[in-house]
Each structure stands twice: as structure tokens, then as C-alpha cells.
Amino acid sequence: MISKSTIENVFETARVEEVIGDFVQLKRSGSNLKGLSPFVDEKSPSFMVSPVKQIWKDFSSGKGGNVVTFLMEHEHFTYPEAIKFLAKKYNIEVEETVQTNEDLAVANEKESMYLVSEFANKFLNHTLLETDEGKAIGLTYFKERGFTLEIIKKFSLGYSPNSWDAFTKEALGKGYKLEFLEKTGLTIVKEDKQFDRFKGRVMFPIQSMSGRVLGFGGRILTNDKKAAKYVNSPESEIYHKSKVLYGIYHAKQAIAKQDNCYLVEGYTDVIQFNQAGIENVVASSGTALTPDQIRLISRLTKNITVLFDGDAAGLRASIRGIDLILEAGVNVRVCAFPDGEDPDSFAKKTPYDKLVLFLEENAKDFIQFKASLLMKEAKNDPIKKADLIRDMVISISKIPDRIKREVYLQECSRIMDISEEVLFNTLAQLDKKELTETNKKFKEEQKAFQVHKNENAASNAKIDIQNELERKIIEMLLLYGDSIEDFEDVMIKANEEGDFIEVKETNPYKVYQRIYLSLQEDEIELANPIFQAIYTNLINYYHQNESFEMEKYIMQLDNEIAQEVTSILMNEEREVLHNWESQQIIVKQKDKTIAQYVTETILTLRWYWVNKIIEELKTEMSTQNRDDNSETLSMVMDYLGLTNMFSKKLGRVMSRYS
């Protein structure tokens, strides 16, 4: 268990904008920061961070919370892991009890796999740097590749002993379960034996954006033709190769700072570039580029420069990934190295200044690069040239931004010496075909949706009204609960003649006290169970604490409630509510006091509940068919009197809910 003082220290020190800024490119937007959602694919920013409130909200996915919940959502950390991550980032000493075997036993499967992977990383790195076999074979290989000891440590490179079960034995001896050694792919388990997957290989740990070890890549050092040159960890609960980029952990800050990402193919390309002084580089690790990998980069920058080997065959095959980048709305440039060179070999022998200059001078816009590359194949063949032009227009059609598409078509016209009109017509045909297919799919989805919508439209209107009223109650408790305001009380007192009269008095209350007393008076409970849970939690928190600190309050909430609280706090950052007044939902205006806002909202909620009771009584009379409804009618009249009183107090005539 992590001590309470450590957790409080972490929350007091960690800044949500600094932590999230390591994962998402944020830009100033008034008093807040905004960026693209790290949880869904989107073109327009809907991800908001509030440095003042120390919370974040993703309006696309609905997720939100504080700095810890972001790490739990984005990196799939457990709560203790998130606290430890932040403690490490801000150099805070973590006070905790020693983790026992029992603690390890109850850890969930995913966490156990992370623990195994972290242990493997340390074991393999230690074997490389501290054992005779590791130094003689693994370290020698890396040094021959030109890697310094500093860069080897930075990327935590390792070596797996050339023994069938050296790692497996060590892990089992340390108390790690064979079940998780197998699930991570580190150990292969057969009926009568178990052995190391990466026996006799140099090792490249593959890390997440936050630095967690997800899997490994291992390169063989012998000339065994039956064995694969590279072996990667198999797919698992924590390792999905299509969603991972090698080097992203070390590159993220440089990518955001340089506003550009160099994309290469292999582990050694990334490492050699880092050693040369260029850190904003990642690799797809030999797999075909995927939309998830592009999305990972696009959270940090909208500019990708793809670096290709010099051989033509590799260029032709790799260029297919460019269309995926364009489709994601990301700007792409392409740089090819001289024949016989790759990013690794070129960076190894080129000084930093010359390497930077080469990349700047040789990185071409994708349309120029594709034209120059494919024209060599087309030569003077008109049919091949026509196919090439069509191929280029298809690539341009993937670009979501219409202005960019037109600029690229003009450039294509210039390069290929063909009229813009022909290119625009070709693009229009492609757009029409895509639009027809999209419309067909949309109509099918809408047909199914419309049936569901018609069934639920009537009930949704009522639920939304009540929901918004209750949301306003929670919002007031969160934003103004600790404020002291003057509220008007109506007292019944006897005058000098002995008659009872209404006397208005103004008394100071804390907002949370006024709301609590008002709802208690009417015995009102919030219908939305999450709102009721937040309401109870808030009232208890106010009663038990002398002051309200938002960060400390959110810190002690469970994830579901924390998300809803964040959503309420950030709602006004997203949009101004439209026409709520006409639906009896009060929106606080700048010229109204907090006391007015609170009083009107509570009166409106009371009015809603009274009308609900009236409707129930009317239903009762119509269904029970009693001869004498006088008692029920009398109750209805009394309640109608209350609604008139509410209208009078609110200073406006209210229409009835139906």
C-alpha cells in the first residue's frame, strides 16, 4: 500500500497539463488547453485540459478526470501504478509497505504481465552488461554496430543467454508465475518442457509512450538459415504490434517540440538516429504501417517524414503506407537515402549537422516523391503514365482537407504536364463513387437508428429535462458549494395585533448548506443514481472538511464518479447551453448572483417534482375508475397552488410539463 502522505504529495506536485503534454500536443485556448483526443480518431480538437481546475475532459469519448485517471485511461495503469509513475516523474519518494507474495497473487492478469516484462527487461540488460557471455557476444555485437554504452543504456538493450531456459529458471526462482511467462511469450511451454523464446539473441525492449515494457524484439547472431533473423513477442493482453511504435517513449517530447516525426522501419535505425542527435524518430518495427500507429504519432504532431532505404523495390512496397497517413489528415514528406544506404548506415557515418542538412534538402513532398519514383517505371509508356497519374489522384483523394487536395492537384498537373480539368474530373469520379457507398451505408444505419429513436423520443425529452436540472444542482455544489451567500428566507411571525404574517429575512448560508436544507425539506432524492451518489458524497465531504479543495476532492473519488464530476465541471468549456430557459432549466448569467442562481434552480426542481406528482394523481384517477375522486382532486388543487407559488417566486409564468 502506498502511504496517504505520498499520494497527497503526488497530487499537490503533479500538474495535469505537464503530464498530459507528454502524450498529447496541447495548444492554448483561453484559460484552458486543447488537443486531439488520445482515445478516438478525430480531426477537430475535443480534448480539453484545465490547468486552473487540474482536470481534463475528452468530449469525443466522454472520458475525464484528474491527472491520475488520465494515466489509468490512457496507459491502462492501476491506481498505484499511476501514483508511482507520477512520483518518479516529479522525484517524489514513495512510502509503501513491502509487496508480499500474497500481493503478487491477487494482482490482475495484465498487471502481472507488466511485472514479468519489467523483470525480463532488467534481467536481459543485466546479462548484456554484467555477464561474461553477454559482454563477449551481445555487447560486442552492439559495439560493432557502432552503439555507445550510453545509447545501449538509454534504450535498455539486452541479451538472452544461449541456454534453453536461463531466463525462465531465473524468473520462476524469483516467484514469477509460469502462466504469465507464457502469456507474455517470454517462455514457450510444451507438455513436458519449457524454454526461452529468445535464446541466444540480442534484445530490443518495446515500450509504450509512458515507458512501460510491452514486449521484445530479438535478433539472432548466428547464420542459422532455419531460424528467423528477428523474432518479436507474440500478441498479448499488453502487446499489440499494430498499435505500438518502437522508440515512441524516447521520441515523444522531441516530436512535439520539433513538430515533426521521422518514421523508419527498424530498431537500429531509431537507435542510430538517436545516437547521431536526432531523437524525434520512431519505427514501425518491420510491420506494415497501421492507422493506429499513425494515430499515435498524430497526438504529438501533424507532420511525418517517412525515411526509406535506397533500393527501389523497398521504396515501391513501402510507399503504400503514405495513403494511410494522408487519410489521417497528417502532412507527409518523404526522404530516400542513396542507393545501398539505410537510415542506420547513413546516420552512423554522417555528422549531425550534415545529417540534418541532408534530411532538410532531400525530404520531398509526397506528390513530388511519388511522381519522380513512379515516372522512372513509366518512362515513355503512355499507358503506364496514365496509371501513374490515376494512382496519384487516388492518393490525393485520401486527403480530408479540400484546400490541400486542390493545391496537390495543381501541383500534380504541373509535374505530370496534364490539365487540371482532367485531374479534377477524375477526382470528382472517385468522390462520387465514395459518396455513393457512404450514403448507402449511412441510410442503412439511419433506418435502424430511426426505429430506436421513435420508440424512445417521448421518454427522452422528460428524462433530459430532469437530468439537466439535477446536473445543475451538482454543478452548483462543485463550483460554489463553499461560498457564503445571502439567501432570502420567508418566516411566519405574529404582528402586534396577533395575526400571523409572512416576514422576509436575508440570512447568510454556505451554498451547500442551502441546497442540502432545501432538498431535505422536500425529501427530494435525485433520480439519476450517479448524480445522487455524487450529491451524497459532496454533502458528506462538505460536512467533514473545513474547506473544499477541488483537487483533493476529485482525488478520493472512484473512476466512474470522477468522470462524471469532470464532465460537469468542463461542460461550460465545451458549449453554452441553448434555449434551456424555455424548458425551465436555469442557466447562470453573469448579471445574476450565485444566490439567485441557486434559488431559481431549486425552485425549478421543486416545481418539476410537484408536476410529476400531479401527473401521477391524474393517472391514478383515470385508471382506478372510482366513484368518489374528491380527495384526489383536492390534492391536485393543493399542488397546483404550489406551482402557482413557484411561478410567482420565480417572477415568470411557467408552462406545464406534459
H helices, E strands: number in the chain:
28, 18
Chain segment 129-166, per-residue pLDDT in tens: 999 999 999 999 999 999 999 999 999 999 999 999 99
97-114: average pLDDT: 68
The sign one gets for the Cα dihedral 174, 175, 181, 183 is: negative
Residue 597: name the closest of 485, 520, 489 by CA: 485
For residue 500, give the C-alpha cell.
Answer: 400571523
Rg, the chain, Cα only: 32
Q: Cα(176)–Cα(180) distance, rounded to whole angstroms? A: 8
As a whole number of Å, the end-to-end CA separation of the chain is: 54
Between 644 and 264, residue with greater pLDDT: 264
- What is the reported pLDDT for 206? 96
Element spanning 308, H or E: strand 303-308
What percent of the chain is modeled with pLDDT above 90? 30
Q: What is the per-residue pLDDT across 376-387, written as a single tens digit (0 to 9) for each? A: 666 777 887 788
Residue bearing cell 524484439: 217
CA atoms within 13 A on the CB side of 448: 5
Angle CA(216)–CA(218)–CA(219) in degrees, nearest 5?
155
Q: What is the separation of C-alpha 408 from the centre of its chain, rounded to a whole number of angstroms?
A: 32
Q: Half-sphere exposure of 48 toward its Cβ, with a 13 Å CA cutoff?
A: 22
Q: Residue 334 is placed in which grid cell?
A: 518523404
Distances (CA, A) of 32 to 13, 73, 223, 476, 573: 19, 21, 57, 21, 8
Q: Where are the domains of the chain?
A: 4-89, 104-236, 248-430, 462-650
Beta bridge pairs of residue 508: 486
Report the range of poorest mean pLDDT among 53-67, 103-117, 312-326.
Answer: 312-326
H/E run at residue 53? none
Closest by Cα among 22, 153, 10 to 88? 10
Looking at residue 374, its pLDDT comes to 67
Residues linked to residue 489 through DSSP beta bridges, in sequence order: 505
Paired with 503 in beta bridges are 491
Q: What CATH architecture does domain 248-430 belong to?
A: 3-Layer(aba) Sandwich (3.40)
Spatial separation of the C-alpha atoms in residues 318 and 320, rounded to whole Å: 5
H helices present in 340-401, as ranges: 343-349, 352-362, 366-378, 382-397
Sign (positive or negative) of CA dihedral 557, 561, 563, 564: negative
Q: Is the pLDDT of residue 512 over 50?
A: yes
Is residue 232's pLDDT more than 90? yes
| Mean per-residue pLDDT of the chain | 82
Q: What is the DSSP string of 202-223?
A: EEEEEE-TTS-EEEEEEEE-S-
Closest CA to 66 of 557, 611, 425, 577: 557
As a whole number of angstroms, the distance between CA 378 and CA 384 comes to 5
Confidence band, pLDDT 50/70/90 cuts, at residue 441: low
Note the pLDDT of residue 166: 95
Per-residue pLDDT for 294 more than 70?
Answer: yes
Q: Is the pLDDT of residue 333 over 70?
A: yes
Strand-pairing partners, residue 206, are: 215
Distance of alpha carbon 222 from alpha carbon 302, whole angstroms: 41
Identify the three-state secondary structure at position 266.
coil
CATH 3.90.580.10 assigned to domain 4-89? The reply is yes
Q: Which amino acid is at 611?
A: N
| In the predicted structure, residue 98 carries a pLDDT above the cut 70 | no
pLDDT average, residue stretch 604-623: 77
C-alpha grid cell, residue 49: 485540459
Alpha-carbon distance of 219 to 301, in angstroms, equals 31
Note the pLDDT of residue 444. 58
CATH of 104-236, one of 3.40.50.2300, 3.90.980.10, 3.30.1330.10, 3.40.50.1370: 3.90.980.10
SS3 sequence of 76-130? CCCHHHHHHHHHHHCCCCCCECCCCHHHHHHCCHHHHHHHHHHHHHHHHHHHHHH
With 80 as the cut, is the pLDDT of residue 103 above it? Answer: no
Query: What pLDDT shows up at residue 460?
Result: 45
Query: What would the grid cell of residue 78 be?
Result: 492501476
Can you tell me the mean pLDDT for 316-324?
72
CA separation, residue 484 to residues 149, 479, 487, 513 (Å): 62, 12, 9, 9
Work out the pLDDT band at 461, boundaries 50, 70, 90: very low
* 100: number of Cβ within 10 Å: 9
Whether 456 shows a pLDDT value over 60: the answer reads no
Confidence of residue 261 (pLDDT cuts 50, 70, 90): very high
Residue with cell 480518431: 41
Helix (H) or strand (E) holding 334: strand 331-336
Interval 59-88 mean pLDDT: 85
Answer whether residue 33 shows pLDDT above 50.
yes
Residue 556's SS3 state is coil
CA 479 vs CA 24, 418, 472: distances in Å: 27, 62, 10
- With cell 506494415, the residue in question is 288
Cell numbers 481546475 label which residue? Answer: 53
| pTM of the entire predicted model | 0.66
